[in-house]
Structure 1
Amino acid sequence: MPSASDRTTGRPGGRPAARDRIATKRAAEKARQEQARKRRARLVTGSVVAAIVAVIVVVAIIVQSARTDTADAATPATVAEGTGGAGFATGPADAPVTIDVYEDYLCPACRAFEEVAGDALDQLAAEGEALVRYRPVAILDRLSADDYSTRAANAAAVVADAAGVETFLEFSDLLFANQPAEGGPGLSDQELVSLAAQAGATGADVETGIRELRFGDWVARVTDQASQEGLTGTPTVLVNGEPLAVPTAEALLAAVQAATE
């Protein structure tokens, strides 16, 4: 009969076999944990991707909804051809040069541009040298307490619709001459109505259009359209589609001359 020492030392695979079983068990547990970790990672990644896709879909729906809502917006009767229903023109349609002017009525640089180049624009249109198309946009609503950019552009559209482009130009000059400071309240509806009357657009229909934002959706549409066309700031002035690097009277006249040579 084997002694106790024989049983301890002579058992086939004794301690080495036990260590192997433990190592195998640990390896299996480690593999199981790794699989579980990868499964959790896939679930988290899938959830994140799904959330991102959901956000993109929601944003796309909101943007598309906004565009759909403004696609059928009431349009002023006097908008110019060739502007996609987004501007008011002065000067002959067959002029050799077309000038597009994008302005926000709260923009101080737009006011400065009109002060130095407004007369040149008027003269170019009056002498038949250029078709000048004014495109009022509202990109600075965030800089006023009452969405003044939209309200002012709407008022300009109401004036153009009611009294024509020449009166619109007079009203635009008055808006810039009475431009409020950025960061505060804009002109009140009553002040806009008074300026419209001063320009030559009077009557209950004009007042109602200004107070009720008759062309507010139109302003949103043309602003969105300008953004899609690459507008990044105001004033932006295009001469035959080419932007002026610096919107000054000198640069404007030089660009017009170059375009006709």
Structure 2
Amino acid sequence: MGKAAREQSARDRIKAQREEQLRREKRKRVATIATAAVVAIAAVGGGWWFAAQSSKSEQVGASLAPITVAGDGSVVMARPGVEKPVLDVFEDFQCPACRALEETSGPTIKNLAAEGKAKVVYHPITIFQEQTNKGITRANSLRAASAIRCIPGGAPWIAFHDKLFKEQPSELVEGFKIPDLIAWGKDAGVTDPGFESCVTSQEKAPAHLEYSTKVMESQKLTGTPTLKLNGTELDTNVAFKPADLRQAVLDAAK
């Protein structure tokens, strides 16, 4: 190989090395930017998670307050004669933050109703209005909420409610399948002979979607979970801290 050829080869190698270095630096910058974005999103949207870690949950008492399903699909849990304060719980069975709220403050909410300290009103809704993720997320939410509407009330309703959150699927996969919903209902103590056909046909789905839209618009909801005490939305740091949530309800009763 002549001198000129060797010099050209050396220049080519240097050029290739520089290009590879530039590519590595670009990949590093992209990775850094992506990581920063994820951290920023977590800091803003994950506030409920940090709050949920900072307060000890209660244990559900031996007895529950009576549970009554209203005609619109909302569900009241309260001792007879207890009309205030009113604690409204807006939730979506496919919402991960709603599951975190149930695990953290769910027992407190049930205990407050059982103790006669509050009238609790559950509002199961489908917050996912768009057909995102190929419609999987919305479909999961809709099947679960439609199924629980097939339960007329009582202890089976809240048992099924809790089971849905316990079995909440990933937002990326199909879950809350019909056979599972039927089995969970029976395990929860549902004996209504029409339950299975009601769940299978999803006959309550249209009413549920109508109710969801109405609630989101009238309550001006921006997401779930949302807790409102006597109509005023509670801060996340209160909703996800059982002791603070209990104190807020007790203060509202004064």
Paired residue secondary structure (1:158): coil
Letter in 1 for 2:144: A
Instruction: State the one-letter code of the partner of 1:91.
Output: A
Structure with max Cα Rg: 1
Structure 1 segment 85-96 matched on structure 2, within 5 A: 85-92=72-79, 93-96=81-84
Mapped to 2, the partners of 1:254 and 1:243 lie a distance apart of 15
Partner of 2:251: 258
Instruction: Kindly state the Cα deviation for residue 203 of structure 1 after the two structures are TM-superposed.
Output: 5.3
The runs of at least 4 consecutive aligned structure 1 residues that moved more than 6 Å come to none
Larger deviation: 93-102 or 215-224?
93-102
Which residue number in structure 2 is paired with residue 15 of structure 1?
Answer: none
The reply to whether residue 131 of structure 1 matches residue 119 of structure 2 is: yes
> Which among 148, 164, 170 is matched to residue 181 of structure 1?
170
Cα offset, 1:186, TM superposition: 1.4
Q: Does 1:207 align with 2:199?
A: no
Which structure carries more relative contact order (alpha carbon 8 Å, separation 6+)? 2
Give yes or no for contact 1:91–1:126 (8 Å, CA) kept in 2: yes
Instruction: Tell me, yes or no, if the aligned pair for 1:103 and 1:135 is still in contact at 8 Å.
Output: yes
Structure 1 contact 79–89 (Cα < 8 Å) conserved:
yes
Aligned positions of 1:37-56 closer than 5 A: none
Contact persistence 2:83–2:119 (CA under 8 A): yes
- Following the alignment from structure 2 to structure 1, what is the Cα–Cα distance between the partners of residues 212 and 244? 25
Q: Deviations over 1:162-203 (max 9, x none)?
A: xx2321110010001111001210121000001111101145
Identity of aligned residues (%): 33
Structure 1 position 157 matched with structure 2 position 145: no
Please state which structure has a larger fraction of its residues in helix: 1
State how 1:52-91 maps to structure 2 within 5 Å.
Answer: 78-80=68-70, 85-91=72-78
In structure 2, what is the equivalent of residue 69 of structure 1? Answer: none
1:121: how far off? 1.0
* Structure 2: distance between partners of 1:208 and 1:255: 42
Distance 1:187 1:168 in 2: 16
CA RMSD of aligned residues (A): 1.8
Contact 2:112–2:246, Cα closer than 8 Å, also in 1:
no
2:97 aligned with 1:109, yes or no? yes
* Paired amino acid for 2:194: D
How far, CA to CA, are the matches of 2:103 and 2:177 in structure 1?
A: 23
Looking at structure 1, the residues matched to 127 and 84 of structure 2 have their Cα atoms a distance apart, in angstroms, of 30
CA contact (8 A) 1:98 1:239 kept: yes
- State the one-letter code of the partner of 2:105: A
TM-score, L = length of structure 2: 0.66
Give distance in 2, aligned partners of 1:258 and 1:222.
31
2:235 alignment partner in structure 1: 245
5+ residue gaps, structure 1, are 1-77
Q: How many positions carry a matched residue from both structures?
A: 178
Q: What is the TM-score when the length of structure 1 is the normalising length?
A: 0.64
Write the distance in 2 (CA, Å) between the matches of 1:88 and 1:99. 12
Q: In structure 2, list runs of 5 or more residues that go unmatched.
A: 1-67
